[in-house]
Structure 1
Amino acid sequence: MDEQAARNWIAPTPAQMAAMARRVLATIPEPFAAHLADVVLIVDEFADDETLASFGMTDPFELTGLYHGRPLGDKSVWESGAMPDRIHLYRQPLLAEWCETGVTLGDLIRHVVIHEVGHHFGLSDDDMHALEDAAGE
């Protein structure tokens, strides 16, 4: 999705949103970037009911993204057969936040992706903000 489409409030398809998120992942600096190659990026319309319930949520618009996996620091070299770590973006909640806040969709996606990457590394919220600043535009 190009910036012109974003300025004209044209909602991206799931594939376009995934491409936007991949561009964000490409801005993550080393040494973090080396540990993201196996993380799967998934764009769904909404989180499923089970996921929402696990966070005590009933409104599917409350959740814009989620990291599924174990933080790198909690993993062992002896583990095998585990599902790959995944970052889920929830398209409809992101689109709703975009419309409600006026923040650019690219900035929202960037914020959510970097936040979920932070969970992959077991980072604190302060560390996630530093990573977001280091990733640049």
Structure 2
Amino acid sequence: MPVRMNKERFEELVGEALDEVPQELLDLMDNVVILVVDDAPPEDPDLLGLYEGHALTERGWDYAGVLPDRISIYRRPILAICDDEDDVVDEVAITVVHEIAHHFGISDQRLHELGWD
């Protein structure tokens, strides 16, 4: 049974996960917004998070005037795989780190090698 949690509490957990990211990394993040979204896209309903944009490693001299990159954290899919609030805390932290890593150009394969599944 999915964990029941309102959006405000879930957003607090995302904020707490961001507080755990070293400030040096947060300072390097550029032109990116982090959003809590209720549902994943219909084509991938089990997705927990998604990075959309141009990773820092892919930005060239002509990178200017673009909309911010987006990190979406999907509330309902995360709640659906968790047994209790402690599981939600852990999964939110993992998902936030995973998507921030994509902003820095770290691939899913490398994250897997590092143990961030």
Question: TM-score normalised by the shorter chain: which range applies?
Answer: 0.7 to 0.9
Q: Deviations over 1:59-80 (max 9, x none)?
A: x1x2111111111011124322
The equivalences for 1:48-127 within 5 A come to 48-49=41-42, 52=43, 57=44, 60=45, 62-99=46-83, 104-123=87-106, 124-125=110-111, 126-127=113-114
SS in 1 for 2:71: strand
SS in 2 for 1:32: helix
Q: Deviations over 1:100-126 (max 9, x none)?
A: x88621001000000001101012214
Of Structure 1 and Structure 2, which has the larger fraction of its residues in helix? 1
Gap regions ≥5 residues in structure 2: none
The alignment-based identity, stated in percent, is 28
Q: In structure 2, what is the Cα distance between the partners aligned to 1:84 and 1:128? A: 28
Native 8 Å contact 1:115 1:128 kept in 2: no
2:32 matched to 1:39?
yes
> How many equivalent residue pairs?
111
Q: Give the TM-score normalised by structure 2.
A: 0.78
2:21 matched to 1:28?
yes
- Structure 1 runs (4+) deviating above 4 angstroms are none
Deviation at 1:33, TM superposition (A): 1.7
Higher relative contact order (CA 8 A, sep 6+): 2
Q: Deviations over 1:84-137 (max 9, x none)?
A: 1111111111001113x88621001000000001101012214574xxxxxxxx
Gap regions ≥5 residues in structure 1: 1-8, 130-137
Q: 1:127 to 1:35 in 2, by over 3 A?
A: farther
Q: Give the TM-score normalised by structure 1.
A: 0.68
Q: 1:38 to 1:21 in 2, by over 3 A?
A: farther
Question: For the aligned residues, what is the CA RMSD?
Answer: 2.5
Native 8 Å contact 1:66 1:87 kept in 2: yes
